[in-house]
């Protein structure tokens, strides 16, 4: 039986993080919530590319094959033996249920064998912590623009574990729009990095795509933009793909940056932080930093590797959760629809 009493959690506490929520199999060792000793990511992109998107059953099987060697590499590189760890943390949601189960079951088994605590981590919370891993000096409250394949949210991070939702997408996530438009333009999967690349050769002013809900609060909408791209290409079959990609990307980035800076102004945040896979986008990174300089706010951009799915952010979020809530029970299951715990008052 595992001990559920809160262990001492301090700067020397090491956490093995495990991430298997979608198509990256990742493990990392992080000490004290921010010192990354190792971070190994094995991408399944090549396995899913020929299907044009992630095939859940294939993802689960690939995680089964890849996770043990990925964990072994993270431990060797990090210089840790399992029983020396302070805890094992794994993403338990949101994500693909079969994929999540592989990480959660492995983490619980290792925690039991090594006799160390298990910590269940919310994948969205892990993305929020990505920036803090690289810059622990970020002052709270900070506004985080979390833009991933499944989510587009503006969150006020008021203190550790205290999040207020300022705005979110009412339909598609920004990453989903990149992936759908990328597929429609024949750029393959995932669409985000492909559009980022192709857009560099195009004219962002070639097509004036709509900026939905631009003046309506802090929520987003991207599904109309995707439809506009499809309609434009059907009407102008000779339009250069580079121009369409650049114009689409410009429209997404315009809205994301405008709403993020508005959120920071409205909340009086000390910092503005980017997180999630779309935060790897070159134009978004450039515009985001210029906006922060213009507005005199401390902007923080995690490295590209920290924006996309990785286990260092899971280990970091796990360290904070272990400190605030103690270990998770071994009866904790995968929760594909898990939400970010939000302040409601």
Q: Which residues bind Zn ion (CB under 5 A)?
A: 148, 309
Cβ(295)–Cβ(258) below 8 Å: no
Using CA atoms, how far apart are residues 121 and 107, in angstroms rounded to an integer? 11
Min. distance of Cβ 126 from ligand KG4 in angstroms? 9
* Mode of pairing for the β-strands spanning 152-159 and 14-19: unpaired
Helix (H) or strand (E) holding 15: strand 14-19
Nearer to ligand KG4, 157 or 173 (CB): 173
Min. distance of Cβ 216 from ligand KG4 in angstroms? 24
Min. distance of Cβ 175 from ligand KG4 in angstroms? 3
For ligand KG4, the binding residues (CB under 6 A) are 22, 148-150, 175, 178-179, 190-193, 196, 276-278, 280-281, 308-309
Nearer to ligand KG4, 78 or 175 (CB): 175
Residue 202 neighbours by CB under 8 Å, 6+ apart: 240, 241, 242, 243, 244, 245, 246, 247
Min. distance of Cβ 120 from ligand KG4 in angstroms? 17
For residue 196, the partner it binds in ligand KG4, Zn ion, none, with Cβ less than 5 to 8 A by kind, is ligand KG4
Nearer to ligand KG4, 266 or 303 (CB): 303
Min. distance of Cβ 266 from Zn ion in angstroms? 26
Helix (H) or strand (E) holding 63: helix 56-78
For residue 52, the partner it binds in ligand KG4, Zn ion, none, with Cβ less than 5 to 8 A by kind, is none
Structure tokens that stand for 129 in this block: 């912590």
For tokens 């399944």, the residue is 44
Using CA atoms, how far apart are residues 126 and 311, in angstroms rounded to an integer? 9
For residue 193, the partner it binds in Zn ion, ligand KG4, none, with Cβ less than 5 to 8 A by kind, is ligand KG4
For tokens 């369409």, the residue is 244
Helix (H) or strand (E) holding 321: helix 312-325
Min. distance of Cβ 31 from ligand KG4 in angstroms? 24
Min. distance of Cβ 30 from Zn ion in angstroms? 17
Residue 35 neighbours by CB under 8 Å, 6+ apart: none
Nearer to ligand KG4, 193 or 271 (CB): 193
Nearer to ligand KG4, 79 or 341 (CB): 341
Query: DSSP letter at 202?
Result: S
Cβ(47)–Cβ(62) below 8 Å: yes
Torsion of Cα atoms, 266 then 272 then 278 then 283, to 10°: 100
Cβ(343)–Cβ(162) below 8 Å: yes
Query: DSSP letter at 50?
Result: T
| Count of CB atoms situated within 10 Å of the CB of 3 | 11
Helices (H), 147-269: 174-184, 191-199, 223-235, 241-267
Nearer to Zn ion, 190 or 202 (CB): 190
Nearer to Zn ion, 172 or 309 (CB): 309
| Count of CB atoms situated within 10 Å of the CB of 73 | 14
Min. distance of Cβ 172 from ligand KG4 in angstroms? 10
Nearer to ligand KG4, 163 or 178 (CB): 178
């Amino acid at each position: 039986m595992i001990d559920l009493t809160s262990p001492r959690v301090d700067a020397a506490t090491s956490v093995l993080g495990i991430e298997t929520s979608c198509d990256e199999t990742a493990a990392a060792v992080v000490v004290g919530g921010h010192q990354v000793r190792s971070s190994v990511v094995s991408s399944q992109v090549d396995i899913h590319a020929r299907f044009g998107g992630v095939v859940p059953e294939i993802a689960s099987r690939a995680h089964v094959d890849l996770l043990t060697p990925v964990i072994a590499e993270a431990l060797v590189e990090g210089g840790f033996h399992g029983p020396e760890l302070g805890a094992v943390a794994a993403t338990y949601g949101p994500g693909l249920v079969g994929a999540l189960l592989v990480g959660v079951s492995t983490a619980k088994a290792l925690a039991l064998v090594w006799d160390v605590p298990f910590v269940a981590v919310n994948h969205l919370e892990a993305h929020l912590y990505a920036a803090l891993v690289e810059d622990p000096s970020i002052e709270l409250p900070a506004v985080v623009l979390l833009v991933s394949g499944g989510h587009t949210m503006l969150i006020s991070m008021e203190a550790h574990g205290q999040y207020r939702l300022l705005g979110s997408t009412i339909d598609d996530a920004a990453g989903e729009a990149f992936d759908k438009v990328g597929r429609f333009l024949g750029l393959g999967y995932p669409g985000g990095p492909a559009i980022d690349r192709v857009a560099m050769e195009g004219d962002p002013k070639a097509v004036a795509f709509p900026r939905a809900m631009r003046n309506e609060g802090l929520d987003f909408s991207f599904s109309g933009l995707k439809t506009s791209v499809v309609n434009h290409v059907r009407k102008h079959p000779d339009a250069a793909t580079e121009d369409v990609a650049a114009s689409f990307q410009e429209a997404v980035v315009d809205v994301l940056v405008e709403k993020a800076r508005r959120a920071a102004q409205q909340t009086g945040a000390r910092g503005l932080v980017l997180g999630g896979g779309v935060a790897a986008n070159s134009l978004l990174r450039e515009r985001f930093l210029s906006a922060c300089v213009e507005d005199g706010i401390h902007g923080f951009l995690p490295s590209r590797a920290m924006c996309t799915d990785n286990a260092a952010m899971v280990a970091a979020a796990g360290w904070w959760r272990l400190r605030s809530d103690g270990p998770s029970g071994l009866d904790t299951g995968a929760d594909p629809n898990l939400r970010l715990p939000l302040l409601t008052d």
